[in-house]
Structure formats: C-alpha cells, structure tokens
Amino acid sequence: MSTAEATKPILEFRNINTHYGAVHILKDVNLAIYPGELVCLLGGNASGKSTTLKTLLGMVTPTSGEVVLDGEVVNDKPTSYRVERGVTMVPENRRLFKRLSVLENLQLGAYLRNDKDGIANDLERIYTMFPRVKERMHQKSGTLSGGEQQMVAMGRALMASPRVLLMDEPSMGLAPALVQTNFELIQQIHEEGIAIFMVEQNANMALSIADRGWVLQTGKVVLDDSADSLLANPDLRKSYLGEA
C-alpha cells in the first residue's frame, strides 16, 4: 500500500443502514477495502456479517448510506455491474451448482467476461493450481468431496478475474485438516494481488493472516483495528476467542 493508487479504497461503506422489512440489521456501518489487502469481518451469529457482504455486492439494497466502488456511488447499480468491475463473492457453504459439471461451474464464474483468451488462460491457471479439479472437470460438482468443492468454489470465484474477493465463512463445514489448507490457499490468492474481504467466526485463524479487521455486534461496528492489536485486544479475546 505504498503507491498513491493504493490509498484509494476499491470498496467502501459510508454510514450504511440495511433493513429486512422493518428489521434493522446494519446500523451506520463504515468500512473500506483497499487494493491488495486482506481484511476480515468478525462477529457472532446473526450479527449481520452475511448481510454486509450482500449489501456490498448489491444483492440487498441499503436503506441509507452509500456503497462506493472505485469512488462511484453504486447503490442503484445491479450486482452484475459490481461483478463486472471486479467484485466477486464466494458464498457461504460454497453453494456450487450441484447438478452442473465442474467445468460448467467454472464457466459460470466467468459469466460476465467476454475475453475468450483471458477466460481460457484463467481456466488453465486454475487447473494448474488444483490438478484435482481438472481431473474432475466433467463430474457433477454435487458429487465432489468437501475439499474438492472448496477448490471449485474458489476456482469459480477466481474465474471472474476479481480485484476483491468477498468470502463468507470459507472454513465453515470443512474438516479440521482442511481448514488450515484453506487458509493457506486464501493467503496464496492474496499474494497474487487480489484483495480479500473475509467473514469469519474462526477469529484466531482469520486474524493470524489478515492485515486489518472489524468486529460487528448486532449490526454495529464495535472494533476497527489492525489484526495484531485485535488479536491482543482483551475484550475481543474474551468475547470471541473464548478466553476467560
């Protein structure tokens, strides 16, 4: 984050409020995600983490405040507009298109792209990254093992050639042995220069690889700090890391 360019956030929340019907979920939330950084959003169940992601991606429209993408207010823009500009989500629980083949899933990741060559390149890149995925190319993704599904979910998101990857609890539902691998994978993607905004309940693990983090409590940002100081924060340790 040394260049002047890097100081401008890709995605930003300015005083965002989101409601589901009359229920107030997000309350005056402010966030900013800068190019190439790895940040995480922590919070307990139903604190509004998934809602934050959906609002960022435009699947839910905020009732007030501004969602800003590259300096432009995109409140009224559809999801596709944001995906086209490099915002991509890996949904909770991977959510592959189960009855479609692995290849079809990957192709759907690149749905909004028109550059044939670029798509082919990215496909090759994903195949070298995950040789296992290539082997299973024509298998229905619903029949893959949990670990393989995680690879495909990541691959599908990468096929959109994203600048920011929004990840909703990437380690949820994975076997303990896979969680570690998964975090390594996220770091690897991050090293390629893709900004990552990760929602996690596994606070320890998430903070150990993140640059910065926020803590959300019933829709309010209660902590906003660097990962190191969050890890050291006694309040957080108490409420989220399960320490007395």
Partner 1 sequence: MSDITADVAMTELADGLSEATEVVKGAFEIDRSKAVRFGGLLALALVFISLVGMPVGMDGRQILYWINPDVYVNHPDGQGLSLGYVALFLWPLLLGWAVGSEVVLEGMAATKRGAHDLVTGLVVGVIGGLGVSVLTMLLAWDREINPENGVPAYGMRDPLVNWNEDLYILLTFNRGWTFALWAWPLLAGLLAMFGAGLRLMSDPIRKAIVAALLAIVAVSIFQFLVDDLLGGLGETIADPGRLSNFFGDDPDAGRPNVDSVFDGLLDFVYAKTGGLRLQGVIFVGVVAAGLSLLGSYVTRGRVKAARQAYLDRPVAERTTSSAIGMVVIALALIILPFFTGKIVNELLANVGIFLLLALGLNIVVGLAGILDLGYVAFFAVGGYTTAVLTSAGRGESWPSWVPLFVTDDGEAVVGGWIIALVLVMIFAALTGLLIGAPVIRMRGDYLAIVTLGFGEIIRLLFLSDWLKGYFGGAQGITNIEGADFGFLGTVTGVNPRSVFYLVLFFSAIAIYVSWRLERSRLGRAWMAIREDESVAEAMGINTVNMKLMAFVVGAVLASFSGAIFSAKVGSIFPTSFLILVSIIILVVVIVGGMGNIMGVIAGSLVLIGVLGGPKQPGLLQEFSEYKLLIYGALLIWMMLKRPEGLVPNARRSRELHQEEFLQDAWLKGEVDTGDDEGEEGDAVATEVAPA
Q: Choose one: 25-33, 67-75, 128-136, 234-242; the region binding partner 1 (CB under 8 A).
A: 128-136
Q: Is residue 50 involved in binding Mg ion (CB under 5 A)? A: yes
Q: Does the protein bind Mg ion through residue 233 (CB under 5 A)?
A: no
| Least Å from the CB of residue 123 to ligand ATP | 31
Distance CA 45, CA 62 (A): 20
Angle of helix 102-109 versus helix 146-158 axis, rounded to 10: 30
**Considering CB distances under 5 to 8 angstroms, the limit depending on partner class, which of partner 1, Mg ion, ligand ATP, none binds residue 136?**
none
Residue (50 or 55) nearer to Mg ion, CB: 50
For residue 115, what are the contacts with CB-CB under 8 A and spacing of at least 6? none
The pair of three-digit structure tokens given for residue 132, joined into one six-digit string: 């296992």
Q: Is the CB of residue 25 less than 8 Å from the CB of residue 65?
A: no
Q: Judged by CB under 8 A, which of 178, 205, 231, 241 binds partner 1? A: 178
Binding mask 68-107 for Mg ion (x = CB under 5 A): ----------------------------------------
Q: Provide the minimum distance between the beta carbon of 84 and ligand ATP in the complex, in angstroms, as a whole number.
A: 25
CB of 46 to ligand ATP, least distance (A): 4
> Which part of the chain contacts partner 1 (CB under 8 A), choosing from 7-15, 30-38, 141-149, 228-236?
141-149
Shortest Cβ 215–partner 1 spacing (Å): 25
Phi and psi (nearest 5°) for 119?
Answer: -65, -45
- Bridge partner residues of 23 (DSSP): 20
- x/- track of binding to ligand ATP for residues 39-58 (CB under 6 A): ----x-xxxxxxx-------
Alpha-carbon distances, residue 197 vs 23, 40, 212 (angstroms): 25, 6, 10
* Residue 93's binding partner out of Mg ion, partner 1, ligand ATP, none, with CB under 5 to 8 Å set by partner kind: none
The secondary structure of residue 68, as a DSSP letter, is E
- Calculated CA dihedral for residues 204, 205, 206, 212, nearest 10 degrees: 60
| Those residues with Cβ within 8 angstroms of residue 96's Cβ, 6 or more apart along the chain or in another chain | 105, 141, 142, 144, 149, 152, 153, 156
Can you say whether residue 95 is alpha, beta or left, with left for phi > 0 and alpha for psi between -120 and 50 degrees? left
- Say if residues 141 and 109 touch (Cβ distance below 8 Å): no
Rule CB under 8 A: say whether 109 interacts with partner 1: yes
Give me the residues that bind ligand ATP (CB under 6 A), please.
20, 23, 25, 43, 45-51, 201
Give me the residues that bind partner 1 (CB under 8 A), please.
57, 59, 78-80, 83-84, 89, 91, 95, 97-101, 104, 107-109, 111-112, 125, 128-132, 138-140, 142-143, 145-147, 151, 156, 160, 175, 177-178, 181, 184-185, 188
Give me the residues that bind Mg ion (CB under 5 A), please.
50
